[in-house]
Amino acid sequence: METIKKERAAEISAQVFTARDAMLSDTPEDNRVAFLLFDSAVETLMVRRVQELSRWVLRDSISSYIEDDRHVMADLRDFDQ
């Protein structure tokens, strides 16, 4: 798990540093690329944070932790679900 986190951090770092280099070129095309890379990096971080926070669920005012390997199966035929 720790190796995966390090790989993900390296991927985001690569995006940010590539965006920085593109901004230093200071051409409209490179600035567009930099914007997209920064946007992608920020979105990736937000999605990961939301995933982390969504594992915590409030039930009867007691927070409980949902394990990663536990999946909630949706039954699309059950409208009362």
**Per-residue confidence band for 74, with pLDDT thresholds at 50, 70 and 90:** low
For the segment 50-78, the average pLDDT, to the nearest whole number, is 62
Residue 68 banded pLDDT, cuts 50, 70, 90: low
User: Is residue 78 a part of any domain in this protein?
Assistant: no
What is the pTM for the complete model shown?
A: 0.57
Q: Is residue 74 part of a domain?
A: no
pLDDT at residue 58 is higher than 60: no
pLDDT over 70 at 50, yes or no: yes
CA 27 – CA 4 distance, rounded (Å) = 35
* 66, 57 contact by CB (below 8 A): yes
Least Cα distance to 40 among 67, 74, 15 occurs for: 15
Q: Which domain holds residue 24?
A: 2-65
Could you count the other beta carbons within 10 Å of the beta carbon of residue 11?
A: 12
Domain count across the chain: 1
Question: How far is residue 12 from each of residues 4, 22, 32, 38, 71, measured CA to CA in Å?
Answer: 12, 15, 18, 9, 27
